[in-house]
Structure 1
Amino acid sequence: MTNARENAQPGRQAGAFDSNRVPVTLADIRGAAATISGSVNVTDFNRSITLSEMCGCDIWLKFENHQFTSSFKERGALNRLQALTADQRRHGVIAMSAGNHAQGVAHHARRLGIPACIVMPIGTPMVKIENTKRLGAEVIISGGTLEEAGAFARDHGKTHGMTLIHPYDDPLVIAGQGTIALEMLEAVPSLDTLMIPIGGGGLISGMAIAARSMKPDLRIVGAQARLYPSMYNVIKGEQLPMRGDTLAEGIAVKEPGRITTQIIRQLVDDIVLVTEDEIERAVATLIAIEKTVVEGAGAVGLAAVLADPDAFRGRHVGLVLTGGNIDTRLIASVLTRELAREGRLTQLAIDIVDRPGQLAVVSNLLAEAGANIIEVSHQRTFSDLPVKATLLQLVVETRDRAHRDEVLARLGAAGLRVRCGADPAMPSHGQPDGAR
């Protein structure tokens, strides 16, 4: 749990919701729903029995990762594209995106016969780049951040007479994203809390307008990656740093929208921050329990609930799984790291005498303890051990932390000096070589 979350204060201004103070209305969102009907999926919205039991509240999941492009971004993109004039369609559109908005624009632009160019920042996951190209859009990689990509897109679009389809700071895009809340509240009117990811703020803005209009007392909370707390800083007057590579690259926005900030300040109750470990845990949990693949940005809502279940206890919480575009290599890394956190995978470093049969001794001890050896290597050169000794490095699989501790205790009882993890400074089990 981050200190920022513990000290969080509500960001919403006091007073009743005044629809005249926001640039998008419930009527706009209902109009967007009619515009995109038949071209965008009405995704499943299901209660998770297991997550509800884990979190002590009623958890409902909106599977926007099941859209054709695996993201909710199709909604706003299509609503904006449908509003183009014939001349604008002929000249084409341009967008900046870290991936999901790109695919939404590319897919529906191709379907409508509109030329599309997408500017993506350096570091965008390859799966999102390739999927965008596959959908028929021209892709330009430019800028280290979404903001730098946006500056290039504006200049390039002006030069070529193209219309910019902004990923979040556009009333038509916001209205399109708000259709998710319509579907959720129409399906489950008893919802009393919405937990929504925030990047630039388009999704939570549209959903908040719809939700406040339909159910004024509903609680709305936004979640951001701790590494990119841009909207959190603006709303709460903080200056937390923004840096680094986050698993939630889809919401790694340094400059939130002007329109969306206005809406969030009025309609959103709070914004919380989640760490990278918490995001990884949420991604792994959704795969393990719901058997659904969700990218980091799409899992931050669940990450926030898992990290602070007391804040949601007894409530009826709607979560949006906003997207599922994540590299398979990254999924594998997330899952194995989570196994390590759970004590089911452990790296061991064991000092042994460098003579025949020693590996067999260790293997037999591990087998008797019920541990499975996943990887094994000897390190003879880059070690401070005596020349007649060697460092045996193992990755072993155990059932859980308790089983891991039992295995370590058995190795120590056999007189072996064992260190856990890659760091030699981590606690040791057993006796040093000289004591054997």
Structure 2
Amino acid sequence: MDTGSLAWGIMATAMVLLMTPGVAFFYGGLVKITSVVSMLMLSFGSMALIAGLWILYGYNMSSVDNPGDFAGNPFQDFGLGSIASGADANTNLLGVAFGATFGIITVALISGAIADRAKFGAWMIFAGIWATVVYFPVAAWVWGGGWIQNLGTTLFGEDSGIEVLDYAGGTAVHINAGAAALALALVLGKRLGFEKGIMKPHNVPLTLIGASILWFGWFGFNAGAQWSSGMDTVGLIVINTLGATATAIIGWLIVEKLRHGKPTSVGAASGAVAGLVAITPACANLTPGWALLLGLITGAVCAVAIELKFRLGYDDSLDVVGIHLVGGLIGTVYLGLFATETGLFVGGDFRQLVVQVIAVLAVLVYSFLIAFIIGLAIEKTMGFRVANEDELAGVDNAVHGEEGYNMPPTSTISATI
């Protein structure tokens, strides 16, 4: 492979890895001032754990020899000794690293649903088990030769030209994470004092910094895989990633203005993330105009969807369900209607919509059920949620012995003035 392609692969890998600290900042600004360290650590813990597991066996599980296989053999090349010594080691190991960053951020996204009340050790155990039995196999289903990747052929024949479209992870990343987030929110229950309007972000600029890092890194997320596939659609992917995100901000802010009278900066940041989520599966298979419409619809719908937790009674702290699950659903199903040449309204028929919906439902149900079982088992044994007094006093000190902001005593400030 030429050095230019390898260089872009390295850059894209670094950009996607940077997205997880972006998630940490985005989430960190939204929580209470006494929970920001805990929130950051849930993301950084995911980076450490999932990277190691991916190298040991996760990559092996992410591809299969037969479409009917659940996952690859985790011990086939345990620790990647064979890949590292092979003739194409440079290219193959870079592909492994790029894939690892997707697993890392998928797990980190889940943590937003349990902000302000989760134990770090319990989270790490959940993250390792969930990645092993959910993310690694689902990655094989969607991208590694598994049943979802071959669903169009299975249902409609090899000559149909129909396949599940999910270029960068609407199912494997966002629906997967969003469904698991809903399960954990139900397992851990509501925060103390949970009600509409009572939980205010402690640091809005930090949230906007996180959203900005995410938007930057998402160009590596969506266009990164082009380093190994000839760069033939990179321009389309980049312009769609830009356009859908922009219009999603507008859609979110319009809804905020109509519903609450004021467009907010947190709304703008959340709209940007919703647009990025929706365009993830669709970035290579929409013309730019349809991408703009997708962003506008997603921003508006997600702005309404985040209110569902108050009506339905579950406490998804940072709206992982309303943004990632709903945004992922919209972006993936939208392809069944508007995917170039195969979408129902742009020259295709119902078949594209059928395979998109089946893939969405399968990943959603599987991830939710397994996450609920794992989370409940942890809660009933070692405990997943911190004690009520620790939640009230602050998770940061109780769990990590640190404070996000080491402010001097009031008397010291007065004396200095």
TM-score by length of 2: 0.28
Q: Structure 1 or 2: larger helix share?
A: 2
Which one has a bigger Cα radius of gyration? Answer: 1
Q: Which has the higher contact order (CA 8 A, sep 6+)?
A: 2
The TM-score with structure 1 as length reference comes to: 0.27
